[in-house]
Structure 1
Amino acid sequence: MTVWDRPEPSARPVPLDRARIVAAAIALADEGGLEAMSLRKVAARLDVGPMRLYGYISTKEELFDLMVDEVYAEILPDGRPGGWREALRGHAHRTRQAALRHEWLADLLGGRPTLGPNGFAVGEAALSALDGLADLGTVMRAAETVNAYVTGAIRREIANLRAERATGLSDQDWQRAYGPHVRRMLDTGRFPMLTKIVYDGTEVDAETSFSTGLDWVLDAVAAKLAQPPM
């Protein structure tokens, strides 16, 4: 039986419910990442004994599932989009924004689907935008392709933000610090393509990079949807 199917126990003697537990867990994870979130710390924030939580959740993994599903409420579309590209683009950008607000989400994306009500609603919104455009297999592969790009791009961006905080070096500081080594490596002549990119390439901000890559993926999906069925 999943955590969503299991009834909550009585709130006595201390008022408590899963919503309060999840809110406390999310606050802890927002402050210090998943490693800063333990059942003991959640209980302390709620001023209850750790054993009180086990009536509501059985494992930390269940709590992770509840946390993800709670954040998925932030990813739900506000209204009905005009077309499938707009729907998937909106889903991708809302997922990225949610991950920037809750960086720990990047660590939990890409696994098995969340089975909570918000997870179901998010999945339904994305898949229904593609309904009728191709056979079911193609629709599923299209949604998986977009999700794979979104998950990978978000994880890369969050990893970069974490590295910046851990080292205290911005991208520009890092480039200056490691510039001499990079130049020596490029001067060997063994890496002509990397040399072109370093000296002639144009850097863009994270949002522009995300949007550009997403549009290319959506273009590829559009081309596949336009193909006649085999």
Structure 2
Amino acid sequence: MTVWDRPEPRNAPVPLDREQIIAAAIALADEGGLEAVSLRKVAARLNAGPMRLYGYISTKDELFDLMVDEVHAEILPAEQPGDWREALRVLAHRTRQAALRHVWLADLLGGRPTLGPNGMAVTEAKLAALDGLADIDTTLRAAETVSSYLIGAIRREIANLRAERATGLSKREWQRASGPHLTKMLATGRFPTLTKVVHHSRETNAEESFATGLDWVLDAVAAKLTPPSA
């Protein structure tokens, strides 16, 4: 039985519910990452005994599942665009924005499908956007391809944010500090293509890079979408 199927305790001496538990867990994770979340710490946040929480949640993994599902409610747009590319583009950008608000989300994206109501609604929106454009297997592969790009791009951006926080150096400051070493290495002549990229590529910000990569993935998906024969 999943955590969503298990009923909450009734007639508790002090009012408590999963909604409060999830909100407290998300607040802890937003402040200190997933390592800051435990049933004991959540209970302390709610001024409740740790054993009280076990009536609502059995394990920390269940708690993480509930947290991810709660954030998925932020991802689903109020209205679904009619164009499949725009629908997937909106979902992708809203997922990135949610991950930037809740940095810990990047660690929990991917893997087994989420079975919470909000997560399933987001999955439904992705598949519905592609429905009828190809056979069901192609539709599924298309959705998986977009999701794989999305997860990888988000994790890379979050890793850079974490590096900035850990070192205290912005991207520009890190580039300046690393400049002498990079210049020395490029001067060896061992990295001609990398040298060309460093000296001649146009610098982009994270949002522009994400949007460009997403458009390229959607272009590739479009080339594979052939309506199923009647």
Q: TM-score, normalised by structure 1?
A: 0.97
Deviations 1:117-152 (A, max 9, x none): 001111001101100100111000000000000000
Q: In terms of mean alpha carbon deviation, does 204-213 or 72-81 score higher?
A: 72-81
The aligned residue for residue 179 of structure 1 is: 179
Native 8 Å contact 2:132 2:228 kept in 1: no
Distance 1:227 1:214 in 2: 22
Task: Tell whether 2:131 aligns with 1:124.
Answer: no
Distance 1:88 1:12 in 2: 43
The aligned residue for residue 193 of structure 1 is: 193
Task: Tell whether 2:158 aligns with 1:158.
Answer: yes
Counterparts of 1:11-26 in structure 2, within 5 Å, are 11-26=11-26
Q: CA deviation at 1:195?
A: 0.1
Q: Which amino acid aligns with 1:193?
A: T
Native 8 Å contact 1:11 1:17 kept in 2: no
Counterparts of 1:39-188 in structure 2, within 5 Å, are 39-188=39-188
After superposition, the CA RMSD in angstroms is: 1.1
Q: CA deviation at 1:226?
A: 4.2
Distance 2:100 2:40 in 1: 26
Distance 1:228 1:7 in 2: 42
Task: Tell whether 2:202 aligns with 1:206.
Answer: no
Q: Secondary structure at the match of 2:74?
A: coil
Q: CA deviation at 1:11?
A: 4.8
Q: CA deviation at 1:80?
A: 2.5
Distance 1:11 1:47 in 2: 18
Q: Secondary structure at the match of 2:75?
A: coil
The aligned residue for residue 219 of structure 1 is: 219
Native 8 Å contact 1:72 1:122 kept in 2: yes
Q: Which amino acid aligns with 1:68?
A: V
User: Unaligned stretches of 5+ in structure 1?
Assistant: none
Q: Which amino acid aligns with 1:63?
A: L
Percent identity reads: 78
Q: Which amino acid aligns with 1:54?
A: Y
Native 8 Å contact 2:133 2:227 kept in 1: no
Extract structure 1 runs of 4+ deviating beyond 2 A.
226-229
Counterparts of 1:18-37 in structure 2, within 5 Å, are 18-37=18-37
Native 8 Å contact 1:89 1:214 kept in 2: yes
Q: CA deviation at 1:77?
A: 1.9
Deviations 1:16-43 (A, max 9, x none): 0000000000000001100111111100
User: Unaligned stretches of 5+ in structure 2?
Assistant: none
User: CA 1:49/1:219 → structure 2, altered by over 3 Å: closer, same or farther?
Assistant: same
